[in-house]
Amino acid sequence: MGANWGHNLRLSIFGESHGKAIGINIDGIPGGIELNMERIEKDMKRRAPGRNNFSTQRKEKDEIEILSGVYEGKTTGAPLCAIIRNEDKRSKDYSLLKEVMRPSHSDYPAYVKYHGYNDVRGGGHFSGRITAPLVFAGGIAKEILSKKGIYIGAQIKKIKNIEIESLNSLTLENFQKLAEKEMAILDDEKILEVKEEIEKVRKDQDSIGGIIECYAIGLPSGIGEPFFDSLESTIAHLAFSIPAVKGIEFGKGFDITSLYGSEANDEYCYQNGRVTCKSNNNGGILGGISTGMPVIFRVAIKPTPSISKIQKTINVKTKEECELAIEGRHDPCIVPRAVVVIEAIMALALLENLYEGRDKYE
């Protein structure tokens, strides 16, 4: 299982990399919302493959076909199902994959779990391609959040050993700038540096990973739940749904362990009559609930496991060790395309929590 997520906003995802179509059924979207398809399609393009040198050469327009839940341009309140047809499939690239397990891919555990019946073409249902419908759902969530004054942005924080400064000012304007860049980095020189690094690794038939930092501003305090449904739990649950994510941290994250409590604690004060914190080491969340400060988290994205370099592995049919050079099309670094996916899960997690019983306190 694993296709379903959410209590208040219910997602049901499906599809394989080289099947007929991928898609998502979204339940819990209220009626009467006008979908800004232009904005959503922009998001889709930020993730879509084949647009530049640092991505796979597979070309997919990732065109959304909405099957239900929208009538006369507005959501109806009924489940909204959208699909994306897979166009540029090359299934012949993947014929060996039923036997030879690609290291650090899902191939082997999926082979064991599904007794060899899983669709292996391009990783099948385990492909990063399945995040495309998530970006669509995130686009709708962003639309709804933006009407409540909640905005989401994300940037690349690190690629291999290149560190990028965090935004010095968390504003909608900066978020928009980031979204329009070729790569979610404000500093153009850093972009060049990163592109060179990726180009180098592509030529070396290798791959690299990195860190993405994600922000939400405008979220009021009091959103999130105690214990099992903490805002962090909700976000982290979604984050680890995304292939290649190996870590997540909020606020200062792992570095908070080097501080004294007196340094780490975020002291409160009043600013123009509104409660605020002098620091935000907790990333806008305390006790699983939003404080009103920006929500900030970072995720670690591992180097793309598909590399053309020769690797040692096994053949599960012959039960022998063997070598493998993964031909076909793959991203030397998935991080730039993953940025909008991370934004999507922030948006979905916040909306899920916003929809949790806000009416009850009357």
List 71's β-bridge partners, or say none: 74
Least distance between a second copy and beta carbon 22 (Å): 7
The reply to whether 166 sits near a second copy by the rule CB under 8 A is no
The reply to whether 317 sits near a second copy by the rule CB under 8 A is no
Subset of 273-292 contacting a second copy (CB under 8 A): 273, 275, 277-278, 281-283, 285-292
Smaller CB distance to a second copy: residue 38 or 320?
320
**167 token code pair:** 């935004």
Least distance between a second copy and beta carbon 45 (Å): 23
Q: How far out from the chain centre does Cα 25 lie?
A: 18
What distance in Å separates the CA atoms of residue 118 and residue 98, rounded to the nearest whole number?
Answer: 9
Smaller CB distance to a second copy: residue 76 or 172?
76
Q: Which one of the spans 14-22, 37-45, 50-58, 173-181 is the region binding a second copy (CB under 8 A)?
A: 14-22
Exactly one of 140, 211, 338, 341 binds a second copy (CB under 8 A); that residue is 211
Smaller CB distance to a second copy: residue 38 or 117?
117
What distance in Å separates the CA atoms of residue 1 and residue 102, rounded to the nearest whole number?
Answer: 23
The reply to whether 318 sits near a second copy by the rule CB under 8 A is no
Least distance between a second copy and beta carbon 78 (Å): 4
Smaller CB distance to a second copy: residue 10 or 42?
10
Which residues make Cβ contacts (< 8 Å) with residue 331, sequence separation at least 6?
49, 54, 55, 56, 207, 304, 306, 337
The reply to whether 69 sits near a second copy by the rule CB under 8 A is yes
The reply to whether 135 sits near a second copy by the rule CB under 8 A is no
Subset of 89-118 contacting a second copy (CB under 8 A): 101, 103-110, 112-118
The reply to whether 37 sits near a second copy by the rule CB under 8 A is no
Q: Which one of the spans 35-43, 165-173, 178-186, 209-217 is the region binding a second copy (CB under 8 A)?
A: 209-217
What distance in Å separates the CA atoms of residue 129 and residue 47, rounded to the nearest whole number?
Answer: 9
Residue whose C-alpha is closest to residue 304's, from 127, 116, 47, 90: 127
Residue 143 · residue 36 · CB < 8 Å: yes
What distance in Å separates the CA atoms of residue 307 and residue 287, rounded to the nearest whole number?
Answer: 42
The reply to whether 125 sits near a second copy by the rule CB under 8 A is yes
The reply to whether 141 sits near a second copy by the rule CB under 8 A is no
Subset of 244-273 contacting a second copy (CB under 8 A): 245-254, 256-270, 273
Place of tokens 């409160």: 268
The reply to whether 218 sits near a second copy by the rule CB under 8 A is no
The reply to whether 55 sits near a second copy by the rule CB under 8 A is no
Sign of CA dihedral 226, 229, 231, 233: positive
What distance in Å separates the CA atoms of residue 23 and residue 26, rounded to the nearest whole number?
Answer: 10
Smaller CB distance to a second copy: residue 171 or 318?
318
The reply to whether 49 sits near a second copy by the rule CB under 8 A is no
Residue 234 · residue 352 · CB < 8 Å: yes
Smaller CB distance to a second copy: residue 103 or 328?
103
What distance in Å separates the CA atoms of residue 362 and residue 73, rounded to the nearest whole number?
Answer: 33
Which residues make Cβ contacts (< 8 Å) with residue 273, sequence separation at least 6?
none
The reply to whether 193 sits near a second copy by the rule CB under 8 A is no
Smaller CB distance to a second copy: residue 151 or 174?
151
Q: One-letter amino acid identity for 198?
A: I
